[in-house]
Amino acid sequence: MHDDTVNRPIAVQTSSEISESKSDITIMSPRLSVVIPTYNEKGNIEALVSAVRQALIGIEWEMIVVDDDSPDETYELAFQLSHQEPRLHCIRRVGRRGLSSAVVEGALAANGDFIAVMDADFQHDEKILKTMYKKMIATGADLVVGTRYAHGGGIPDWDQKRRQMSDFATKVSRLLIGDQTSDPMSGFFMLRRDVIEQSVHDLSQQGYKILLDIISSAATPLHIEEVSYIFRNRREGESKVSLQVIAEFLFQIIEKVSHGLIPGRFVLFSAVGGLGLCVHLSILFLMKSYNIAFLPAQIAAISCAMLFNFFVNNELTYRDRRLKGWAFIPGLLVFCIICSIGALANIGVAELAIHRTSSWSLAGLAGALIGAAFNFGAASKLIWERVKKPKRRLKKKIS
């Protein structure tokens, strides 16, 4: 029988190749994983890789860039850089946004026993990464926080307004975690892998303050150490601080304080409704002062309050899903219809409650809660339900 087998040379590894393979295994088994959440950070990422490489000489490390499908294609540059730096990896997230969830995703994909989290904009001092690592090893800490507020740290370039906002947020966060760290709003920290693995199902993964989320979600108090540093100005790109960041911080605090029983967005929606009531009464009494009849005054007051509520909810409560352009008008019309139905539900429940309790206060409260819950649920579903963005064409990779 004819044998068609082709004799092929057998690959034999030289000693230098075996040594190189072992080196590769070391690279793939780092002790420290540095997770960098990014969005439009193309101008910073190459310099950051170089700076982290220099800062972590003598430590086995890897860097994981978690990019939220940046319009400036930060992910594309990170992929290119990974060809020269095998310790660099990139996760490109499509249809998912948010710093906290990006950090969690990067941490769960990490290979290291210890995970550092820092921004890509050079505001966090990469030079103290090794100090943080050594302190974690020496003390057996669960978490080491890079703090701006301990001795030796600082934020020299912030104006008074930004300092006041940060101080307020720090004080509010103490409602959750007390005095466990001097800088609970820090985005620069290092922790043991098992800390995040044990609490991952309890994390809200909402907003930008992932450190606060991790500390407040821990089943038992964490051993926390601190390393101070000077907070620097952003090198490239734009600041991510916005109304949405503030709103998400409020959501996180509310949900954590209520142990998840009260959605933070619902509380903000109801607060906006309370402000809308003030607008309503103000317009009503203004028109009364001009001797305008009650019915047209009431109609005008309701219209102004609905417009106010819709605009503020669109800009703040649902800022991550806000309607723009032509979508704003039909959204407003649907909102008015929903609020009208909610008002009928309010009246119906209040009427039922007054016959059962004979208490105007309880009846009014019951009606208001039902009306607010209906308005929130219907508006969230019919107006501001998250919609998928149209797909962008992906560039073909040339191998």
**Model confidence at 60: pLDDT above 90:** yes
Please tell me the predicted confidence (pLDDT) of residue 208.
Answer: 67
Same domain (yes/no): 209, 352:
no
Domain count, the chain: 2
Same domain (yes/no): 238, 139:
yes
Rg of the Cα atoms in the chain: 27
The CATH number assigned to the domain holding 96 equals 3.90.550.10
Same domain (yes/no): 280, 226:
no
* Other Cβ atoms within 10 Å of 238 Cβ, number: 11
Domain boundary at 182, 207, 242, which? 242
Same domain (yes/no): 276, 232:
no
In a domain, 332, yes or no: yes
Residue 175 structural domain: 27-242
Please tell me the predicted confidence (pLDDT) of residue 139.
Answer: 97
Same domain (yes/no): 378, 313:
yes
Mean pLDDT score across all residues of the chain: 83
- Determine the distance from the C-alpha atom of residue 49 to the mean position of all C-alpha atoms in its chain, rounded to a whole number: 23
The CA distance from 110 to 116, in Å, is 10
Give how far Cα 55 sits from Cα of 49, 238, 263, 385, Å: 10, 25, 42, 44
Same domain (yes/no): 305, 346:
yes
Please tell me the predicted confidence (pLDDT) of residue 120.
Answer: 93
Please tell me the predicted confidence (pLDDT) of residue 118.
Answer: 96
Please tell me the predicted confidence (pLDDT) of residue 21.
Answer: 39
Please tell me the predicted confidence (pLDDT) of residue 207.
Answer: 63
Average pLDDT of span 45-72:
96
Same domain (yes/no): 215, 330:
no
Long-range contacts formed by 251-254: CB under 8 A, 24+ apart: 251/204, 251/206, 251/207, 252/204, 252/206, 252/207, 252/209, 252/212, 252/213, 253/172, 253/173, 253/175, 253/176
Residue keyed to tokens 């503030």: 246
**Model confidence at 236: pLDDT above 70:** no
Q: In the structure encoding, which two tokens stand for residue 274, read together? A: 């309370």
Same domain (yes/no): 158, 280:
no
- Determine the distance from the C-alpha atom of residue 122 to the mean position of all C-alpha atoms in its chain, rounded to a whole number: 19
In a domain, 3, yes or no: no
pLDDT digit string (tens) for 86-124?
999 999 999 788 888 899 999 999 999 999 999 999 999
Please tell me the predicted confidence (pLDDT) of residue 362.
Answer: 82
Using left for φ > 0, alpha for ψ between -120 and 50, and beta otherwise, residue 58 falls in: left
Average pLDDT of span 210-230:
93
Beta carbons of 33 and 115 less than 8 angstroms apart: yes
Least confident residue range of 7-16, 304-313, 334-343, 384-393: 7-16
Query: Is the model more confident about 138 or about 217?
Result: 138
Contacts of 230 (CB under 8 A, 6+ apart): 125, 148, 153, 154, 155, 156
The CA distance from 112 to 114, in Å, is 5
Same domain (yes/no): 186, 99:
yes
**Model confidence at 293: pLDDT above 90:** no
Please tell me the predicted confidence (pLDDT) of residue 181.
Answer: 92
pLDDT digit string (tens) for 3-24?
443 343 333 343 333 334 334 4
Instruction: Say which amino acid occupies 326.
Output: W
In a domain, 250, yes or no: no
Query: Is the model more confident about 59 or about 235?
Result: 59
Query: Is the model more confident about 177 or about 262?
Result: 177
The CA distance from 179 to 162, in Å, is 22
Same domain (yes/no): 133, 86:
yes
Average pLDDT of span 121-142:
96
Q: In the structure encoding, which two tokens stand for residue 25, read together? A: 């295994």
Same domain (yes/no): 173, 226:
yes
